[in-house]
């Protein structure tokens, strides 16, 4: 790679990807409506060009996805349960129409694309671990919870249809519960750390027995870069996630121990707080054999180490602590 475009490069995963690309000598164009995080050192990353733009504006996007670009990392999306419950139309427009714009322009320019997707595409399939070709099991279309899953699945369908039918060079990465510095305090790890450092009791949804496989940001970036550069990645989808399954309750308690918080967790009943627009997923576990065998990728950062790194960063960044946590 030499010149790359990162849509959504001001976001959590995107900003870490941009830093890694810049550090390793690539010219990076960030296309995003937002601004870089306050701790993003622009002086240290002078080869990064920030272009403010809407992913649904195809004409503006065409100015950055040009034949001199080697790879487009497409990370722009509406992400987070709180956002896709409150903004379901934006989820569909941005995640589907925005992706179509990126793919169409990349095809025309002859540029390779990595599409960021999500473990949410599997829905509530009860048979874990999930392989990349496993069935999707979703709830009702009347439940906003599933707009994000459906929009990301459509984005994948667009990518693979264009790979098979039109010769697009593309890969898909499905992230599993990525966490780390800069993540908005709206997720299990980031929200729990934010509460702990403010002396507030951690909050567990319902029973806390739901399981997840938490993936540290550095590991997610490693997998994303391999999907863009490894010859075997072309035309494939990869689960990018940890193989360690933990209950949400266990992770919340571990954050309490590492932070020195003595507060006992409180319980939030989602049925009462969110109504029938929200449905949880009992288990979310990836089968990562494909990424391991084709790309040589697997998670390297243990959960305890990743949480400790994130806590250390959070303590050193008051701007993040000053953010208001997202409402349940």
Cis peptide leading into residue 129 (ω within 30°): yes
> Helix (H, G, I), strand (E, B), or coil: what is residue 250?
helix
Vertex 44: Cα angle to 40 and 50 (nearest 5)? 60
Distance (Å, whole) CA 53 – CA 16: 19
The single residue listed with the structure tokens 């984005």 is: 155
Largest CA distance in the chain: 57
Distance (Å, whole) CA 121 – CA 236: 15
Neighbours of 99 (CB within 10 A): 27
Q: Which of 122, 148, 179, 205 is catalytic?
A: 148
Distance (Å, whole) CA 111 – CA 56: 19
Strand partners, 171: 114
Question: N- to C-terminal Cα distance for the chain?
Answer: 41
Distance (Å, whole) CA 8 – CA 303: 26
Pairing label, strands 3-7, 203-205: unpaired
Strand partners, 50: 30
* Contact between residue 244 and residue 215 where contact means Cβ atoms under 8 Å apart: no
> Is 122 labeled as catalytic in the residue annotation?
no
> Helix (H, G, I), strand (E, B), or coil: what is residue 253?
helix
> Nearest-CA neighbor of 105 among 140, 74, 83?
74
Q: Which residues are catalytic?
A: 148
């Amino acid at each position: 790679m030499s010149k790359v475009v990162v849509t959504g490069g001001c976001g959590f995963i995107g900003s870490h990807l941009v830093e890694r690309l810049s550090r390793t000598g690539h010219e990076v164009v960030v296309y995003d409506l937002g601004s870089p995080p306050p701790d993003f050192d622009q002086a240290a990353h002078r080869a990064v060009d920030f272009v403010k733009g809407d992913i649904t504006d195809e004409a503006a996007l065409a100015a950055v996805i040009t034949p001199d670009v080697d790879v487009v990392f497409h990370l722009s999306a509406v992400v987070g349960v709180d956002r896709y419950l409150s903004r379901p139309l934006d989820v569909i427009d941005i995640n589907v129409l925005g992706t179509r714009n990126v793919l169409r322009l990349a095809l025309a320019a002859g540029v390779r694309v990595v599409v960021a997707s999500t473990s949410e595409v599997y829905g509530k399939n009860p048979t874990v671990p999930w392989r990349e070709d496993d069935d999707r099991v979703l709830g009702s279309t009347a439940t906003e919870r599933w707009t994000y899953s459906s929009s990301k699945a459509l984005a994948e369908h667009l990518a693979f249809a264009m790979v098979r039918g039109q010769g697009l060079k593309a890969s898909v990465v499905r992230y599993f519960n990525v966490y780390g510095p800069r993540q908005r305090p709206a997720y299990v790890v980031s929200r729990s750390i934010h509460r702990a450092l403010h002396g507030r009791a951690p909050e567990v949804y319902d029973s806390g027995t739901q399981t997840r496989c938490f993936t540290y940001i550095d590991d997610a970036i490693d997998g994303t870069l391999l999907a863009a550069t490894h010859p075997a990645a072309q035309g494939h989808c990869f689960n990018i996630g940890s193989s360690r399954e933990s209950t949400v309750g266990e992770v919340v308690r571990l954050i309490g121990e590492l932070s020195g918080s003595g507060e006992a967790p409180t319980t939030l009943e989602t049925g009462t707080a969110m109504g029938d627009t929200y449905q949880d997923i009992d288990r979310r576990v990836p089968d990562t054999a494909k990424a391991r065998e084709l790309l040589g990728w697997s998670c390297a950062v243990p959960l305890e180490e990743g949480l400790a790194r994130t806590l250390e960063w959070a303590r050193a960044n008051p701007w993040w602590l000053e953010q208001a946590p997202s409402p349940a």
